Structure 1
């Protein structure tokens, strides 16, 4: 999409800067529908607003009905929960709050790290029905942004837009005939790149310990078994057919090697570690700089 033929629609949503780029015009009605999707998603899944469905679950046990996207989201989370032995869990919300990543963004720990509750002790997730057996702070941040990208892509396609790029704070989905070059940001210097990917028809997501970091070594990727930040990988990238899956697996790489995850999922990956070493899948589409 040459710049002269492209329209960029930028907005804020779920705490992230978004940009939707497409050839031609995105009419006012379609823009409104995109914003409505973001608002509805936030009202269902955000733990940062008092009126969300997730906040209601945190206050009161019971049965809660969620939209259709809850079905595939629950399946991905349950699989990764089992593969990681509980390290990656949607019940990490209370652990994040304990370390200061709370609704008020206090960024001040209120106590020692708190492990997440065991899934089957507090939550039954059956399709679009979530039953909280006790108050539970759900946090789908490991896959939620990617899921919302996919929902916006579906809205664009329903509106007749066949070629587009959705950029959700660096997590990307590209549709169209032409590959899009994407730089892979250096985990310790955002002004530098460690490589480049030619993105074509797939989603590219990243996760890094230096993003959403605060205090003394605190960041948003927690091990559900301990409630402590992960200290292994420092940055990961994944490419998959859906942005939800790419997003979830970018976090899962902090807990499991990519080749183990590839036994259950079709994706490619790159992981960079704190000592500067890196490993990637045989089919990784990117080129790393020497």
Structure 2
């Protein structure tokens, strides 16, 4: 069997998984914003003087809207190639951080599979994926879920981007459609703010991005990511230390009337039995000894 047939069978097998369609559904809410962002990027490439074939080649190979928009003015003024590469590298440094987080989910895959994930991954995909799988624990449904979200995002970007390339003379940049992509990402981000740690990390990232706005090459984005990750790690360590300092759950003596033969753990602090715990503990030293042995 040829290599192409093997890859095709694997791809169709992934597409049949329920998690694949779940990934597609989770991306539907962001599709209008991504499409608008791709459309305005395609228009901007042609408006900057790029030929149609080169613009199509760029959007298919680079697949990074922020980097594409960052290098377009430099290409228009004839900047050296190394300047273009350096600018795109700085703008996309955030993907290095995201890749370290992807590693916790996909490090067991083959190199070529991981390289494909690196190409297809993006900001919105990462947000949707980590919302669905907040813990870096490998699960079989994660791969089809990623590809469902990634292919939806890729098509939602490439089709409007190519349309913008060929319709550049019809669609003016003054429409400001690119901001719709930012709004789509903000909507997904807001849905993830479900605990104190994420709220604090979001606030720190926002303040850092504004404070470092004057940095060149959009390095304020990298600064915001680094600040948010640092604060998140510090809060996680603080929560772990607090968990170690919490007392062990209370032990209730067994109730023979209920058929209990061993101390019950844990004890509901809000129950009536909780108020009677000191009396039960004093009246039943044997149960206390048994509970101590079980905890040991």
Which structure features the higher share of helix residues?
Answer: 2
Structure number with higher relative contact order (C-alpha < 8 Å, ≥ 6 residues apart): 2
Q: Provide the TM-score with structure 1 as the length reference.
A: 0.24
Structure 1 or 2, whichever has the larger Rg, is 2
Which structure features the higher share of strand residues?
Answer: 1
Q: Provide the TM-score with structure 2 as the length reference.
A: 0.24
